[in-house]
Amino acid sequence: MLLLLFKRKLSGFLNRISRLTRWEISKNLMFFGAGLAMLSALYFAFIRVLRYLESVEVIGPALSWKLASMVLLMTFAMVVISSIIISMTTLYYSYDLKFLFTQPINLRLIFTDKAVETVFYSSWTLILVLLPFVIALGKVKSLGIGFYLFYLVLTVPFVMIASSFGIIFSMLVMYAFPSSRTRDITWILGSLSASFVYMFFRFSKPEKLIRPDTLEVVAQYVRYIQAPTAEYLPSWWLTKAMMGWAGGNIKIFFVYTALLFSAAALIYGAVYCLSGFVYMRGFSGAQGTGKFKGKNSLCFEQKLVKKGFPFPDIATLAWKDRKLFARDARYWSQIILIAALIAVYLFSIKNLPLDSASIKSMVCFLNIGVAGFVVAAIGLRFTFPSISLENNNYWIIKSAPITLKRIMLEKLVVSAVPSLLIGVMLVSLSNKLLNADLFISILSLATIIIASVVISIMGIGLGAFFPDFRLENIHQIESSYGGFIYMACCMGYLSLVVALEAWPVQMHFAKIFGRANAWDFKAVAFCGVLFILLNLASAVIPWKLGLKNLEKHEIL
């Protein structure tokens, strides 16, 4: 019966492939090519780092394996966190569960089917990103095809053990608290855990490990490098197995291989038995809904309208979006991750090895592009999907006495304000940490304010041009063709902004270095005109295209 359930998944996958149109095939191939290019870039970056480590006398080979153990430990932690979030959905909220529970199928088999889904969905992206590192490691160590084959085999119990933590956690939590609100709490806890791991890894300054030239006394680090990294976790077992194969120590290889497989078999055997007692109770509780608790007091938007706010329709829509945002725990989990990203971003800026004041100011100028990328990435998560998130309720708004232009304007106001605040915070704090000069500080701050607004307008406009009102989850919008176009447009826009401002910035530094008549004000005026035209085009064209597309869009 379990094989039949797996066959059902395979048949569904093949059916989706067979029904792809030429346009969908071309789009998927484009995304495949972009992903392959990113993995290739990671491979060349890893192979450069590993070759550098191998060239270090005495401790070079040990450094490579130490870095491998740290990477595997980080991967193990991220799979655990990912499984905590994903297992809650696959085990208790998957769309086909209600159908499966009506069939004459053993409860434990249904659980096993969903557990396999959890293992796959929580690990495949992380393992794919890890693959360039392993290939580079084998290349630097001059290992054969057997090293890669055995690595792929050992990855199976490795990710199974990591995912088991999330599966067991979800089962026990849903058994103890069988409620639909438990999933929201789990998402928030998972995001907190991911943020903690990410920040802990960055704050530990791993660049010191891959820069042995900064170590004052190498001998002091030899013992640390040779010491196991979390020796009781599967990440170290996998590292030791790889080291055993690479060093020709077959006994060590088979010992740790047996340890990985036996641990995975033992854990899943226990989970399989436990599922028969706790799985049904958790699933039944997950189907309930929380009670609505209303308030009689006026909300902020209602108070504004009562005091004569000139745009009551925009205020009403803003109230609706604010309520939906507050009720959806997925948004709060994303905010936690964004906060961790900002903290790590500022920490990295502060710890840049820069000595010259001019170089610090130059980095602050280039930081415009990096901060703009962060704003665009946040826009991909919140701004671009805002139109599509109306989903099946779009017909209500379209039939309401409000123009589509006002609807888009409300979405813009709600999303542009936080994007603007984040962009200003990143740039202003970076300028403060690096002590940028006055010209660069003013230029970068003014630029990120304009760029944040333009990127938000592009997000609303392109989101309206590529709407998807039949989505099942928000990640389908982010990874869609429209999301790719949005990010490509943002990257092109930011590149042109930095390029246009580079000429005046070059004159500024030439003046600092003592060049006479460094400023060419005709060139500055020319760059200023092009800057204005660029921003107008980047804002107006996507907005007009999106508005026109929404006006033609028919409700089905």
Say which residue, 168 or 35, is predicted with more confidence.
Answer: 168
pLDDT for residue 15: 83
pLDDT for residue 385: 83
Mean pLDDT to the nearest integer, 25-38:
80
Q: How many CB atoms lie within 10 A of CB 156?
A: 15
Sorting pLDDT into bands at 50, 70 and 90, what band is 442? very high
**What is the signed CA dihedral for 294, 298, 301, 303, rounded to 10 degrees?**
180
Sorting pLDDT into bands at 50, 70 and 90, what band is 451? very high
pLDDT for residue 410: 82
pLDDT for residue 48: 85
Share of the chain above pLDDT 70, in %: 77
Q: What is the mean pLDDT of the chain?
A: 79
Query: Residues 6 or more apart from 344 whose CB is under 8 A from it?
Result: 198, 199, 202, 203
Say which residue, 342 or 429, is predicted with more confidence.
Answer: 429
Which amino acid type is present at position 109? L
Q: Could you tell me the pTM of the whole model?
A: 0.65
Sorting pLDDT into bands at 50, 70 and 90, what band is 196? low
Mean pLDDT to the nearest integer, 24-47:
82
Q: How far apart are CA 417 and CA 303, in angstroms?
A: 20
Radius of gyration of the CA atoms of the chain, in A: 27
- Specify whether the CB–CB gap between 318 and 410 falls below 8 A: yes
Q: How far apart are CA 547 and CA 463, in angstroms?
A: 10
